[in-house]
Each structure stands twice: as structure tokens, then as C-alpha cells.
Chain A
């Protein structure tokens, strides 16, 4: 009989993965048929080969208790990582909901990545269809922002723009100059001012602000300075200008596109100086420095 043969390594690993990742717990997973209406039902269904009989009985601790140790370690490690990486969602929804949210997330998007900080990359998509977002409709955007912060934190590093190289650019070359934006910079556009939540992380009044959060178009700049991630709201013109620079438009084209957008001409020079100083602009390509 097939069932008396030792399980293959694949059967054993698939079974063990199933039993320790079932959010209902090891004992329930082993004894109760899952509710057929559960989302991601496929992940609750036991693999064909039951391998419980191949775990050694080592009294006094039961096999279930032994499996529980692995189940707990699996979930605790991921919950701790999510709590650190999605700190604002954690504070907004509270500990119990966050724990359930993490369990649900792992069913929808189990980790396939080596760095545990990457596991939450689908947070926005996950929250978009989730019941938690019905009462807190800004939650998916908050998930996107917190993932953006992680990406900015880990972005590649490039050297600062050397001030002398700007002085050496002849006036005639500026028209065709193109700008390289720091790889850590992300332009965050949304329907909710979630940047306010991010910046109020240590504020005890945070929850009151959350209750008052209202939908409005928001433009934010996510950047990294001296290893620290900053999220700041920027006005629409600045945001548009940065997005044109990121897309590789030259200064001449950028000015053309900006003309007529505002009553007063935007203080471009001042903004450029600020962005060069804080490392948002990392390089300026001109005919001279390309040759």
C-alpha cells in the first residue's frame, strides 16, 4: 500500500509547510475541515499525503506541540517584521487586527523572497480588496507608502553631484540639459494625505488625525538623506517638474511644459539648488560632460 511507504521529501515538505502555516493553528489544521467559504481555501486544504505518522513520538511532548513550535516561530517572525515595516498600519488598525491582517496577507501573498523586508511588497494590492479598507479607505495607499519607504531605504546609492561640474556648464548647454534623479527618490501620488500619517508616527494625537483624514489629491516626495527616509508633501507643480525630470525630459522641454501652468513663473532655480543640495538631483547630463 502506498500509504505505508515513506513520504518523499517533496510530500513531507509540502505537508509540513501546510500544517505550520495554517493560521487556524496546527491542532485545528490537523483535525478540522476548513470552512469552504474561507478566502484562499486552497491554502487550508491538506495535501494528499498526510505525514503526521512519520513524526517520531518522543514523550512527553506531543507531535502537535512540536509542530506548534515551528508554526509559532514562522508566524511570529513574519509578524514582527511586518510590525516594524508597516508601523503606521499597525498603529491605525491595532494589534489584534494587524495580526489577523498579517495572517490573511501571508495566505494571499506567501513569501517568495530572501529578505524578510520584501515580503510586504503587495500590501497595497492586498488591502484594496480587503474588508479592513471599507472603514479605513486610505489603508491601501498607506500600504503603498510604507512599501515605498522600504524601497527608498534600500535603493542603490550614487555619488553626490559635484558643485564644480555645474559651474562648468556653459549657459548655452542648459537648454538641453537632462537631470538624473537619485534612485532612492519616489514620487508618490494619491487620493489621501497619507504622508501626514507617516509624519505623525510619534504623535500621540495620531488616532484623532486618522479619524479626521479626508480624501484629497496628494503629492509627496519620498527621499533618503544620510540614510534616513523622508516623506514630504510637495505642491503639484514641483511634483510635475520632478516627474518630467525623472522621465528624462531636457530643461528646455520642461520649461515649455510648465509654461502657462501657473500664474507666476515657478522659482525653478531655487528649487534646483535645493534639490542639488539635498541630493535629489544626482547628475546633470549636457553635451559637454557626455563627450
Chain B
């Protein structure tokens, strides 16, 4: 079993900022590598298919790796599912980790499929003692298999369950303590969930153990009208909105300097626009922490 002090691997220098690595930006990044920037790559995009692990994507990632630090971010670990961890998936993830040597690897505190099927969607868990035990056991198993600690991210939620016995922040914190893993705190997800489910996002931040927070995500969301009201959707298709920046400042006040990353997955803009968002995060971090 891995024992550890406060955090995970060496962090980045305080002036560095993280950007989500997306295919439309490959040439801009390779042609003029941005300074003081690290990238987060979606692990599944570089795993290849069952019979092939090559191709342009992994080659580009290896090139970018020469100039920048990389962290890997998975979307299919399915840690909250009743299914056993998929050995096939973990083997592919492990060989990707060996090839890319990321600073760390993260995934989401949710489930993405059941009975061997993958819905490719980040689905909510009921926050019960039983589920807590189950998820902790799975994380411990996965971390042992990979030989490294992971970070787990809070996802945007659109519903909760009546039989939950604790709040999400309690569940996330307890998971991190008992499984000795890190927290990837997505500030936009906290904001989106707080509006959709009606809680105070500052209460969420107040209950997160600062020493467990290894990374922060910032992103944009959209507003969707339903027949009965408005829902915020975690679309990552626009700049980080002001209320999320404000919540970020609150997070930095509580947790100090934390490696921060901008996610932008749809309606992807020119690289310079993404980089400017990163710059804004860097400045806010500097004046706040």
C-alpha cells in the first residue's frame, strides 16, 4: 500500500498554468510552444484501439511532452460502477502512463457504465456509506494496480438521490481520506451543481480538505431552458463565466496555490483565446494566493 505525505508528485512551478490539450490546437502548440504551460490530455484519446496504439494523436502527444509537462485525465475508469475495474482498460492506461510519464493521472468520481457497457457519460452516485465503502475499495485496488495515487474529480450534477446519507463534499472528502487519493476540484462543476441542486458553493469549498486538492479545473457552461425552469449544463464550450472566476478566487483563498487548468471541449476557439483564459487564471492566482 502506498503511503504518502500531503501531495502527489512534484507540482509545477507557481507561474505555470494548465490547458486542456485538444486536437485543433496541435499545430499551434507545436509551431510555437507556449511558455510556462502544462497540458492535460484525455487518456482515452491516446489509448488507440484494441489492436493499435499508434497514430497521429499519440505521436503529437509525445512531441508536446518534449516541451511541456503532461497530466492524464481519464473519462472511462468507471470507478463508481458496481462493475469490477476493467483490467483491459487499466492495462491500456498503465502502458499509456509508462509511455507519457504524466505528472499525475486523474478521473471522475462517478459511474460511466454497468454490466460491461460504457455509456461515455459521467453519471451521479448516491452518497451512501455502502457506496463510499465500495468506491474506496475500488480506488485502492486501481491505485495499487497502477502503482500510483490518482486524483478524482467532482462532476456536474443534474439530480440527487433521496437515499443519499451525506452531501457530495462530505463524500468526496471522505473518499480522498480513506482511499488516500487526491481531489481534482472542478470549480465550474461545483457552480453548475449548486445552481441545479440548490446549495451554497462556498459551503462545498469550506468542507474540502485543502491538503487533498491536487488540481483545479475551470471551464464554461451553458444555460438550458426546460419546460419548468433553467438548468446549467457543463458544456465546456465558452469562456469561464464571471461567477466561476469569483468562486475560483474563493477556492484559492482557502487552498492557496493549486495547479489550475482551463478546459474547453466544444466550439473550440483559437489557441490564443484558450491561452488568454489560462493567463487570467494565472493572474488571479498570483494576486489571491
User: Taking beta carbons and an 8 Å cutoff, which residues of A are in contact with B?
Assistant: 6-10, 12-14, 16-17, 20-21, 53-56, 58-63, 65-70, 73-74, 77-78, 110-119, 121, 150-151, 153-157, 183-184, 224, 227-228
Contacts and interface: CB of A to CB of B under 8 A. Distances in A.
Contacts of B158: 66, 69-70
22 contacts: A6-B126, A9-B82, A12-B126, A12-B161, A13-B82, A13-B111, A17-B119, A53-B162, A54-B161, A56-B160, A56-B161, A58-B160, A59-B228, A60-B229, A111-B118, A114-B44, A117-B49, A118-B50, A151-B51, A153-B56, A227-B56, A228-B56
A63 B197 CA distance: 12
A156 B226 CA distance: 46
Given A66-B159, A67-B159, A227-B59, A154 B48 contact: yes
A112 B118 contact: yes
Chain B's interface: helix, strand, loop or mixed, by majority?
loop
Contacts of A16: 123
A115 B222 CA distance: 26
B268 interface: no
Contacts of B5: none
Contacts of B56: 153, 227-228
Given A61-B196, A63-B159, A115-B49, 13 more contacts: A17-B115, A54-B161, A55-B162, A56-B164, A58-B159, A62-B228, A65-B227, A74-B119, A111-B117, A118-B49, A154-B49, A155-B51, A227-B55
Contacts of B125: 9
A14 B52 CA distance: 32
B231 A115 contact: no
B231 A69 contact: yes
A58 B193 CA distance: 12
A21 B162 CA distance: 22
Contact of A156 (B44, B54, B120): B54
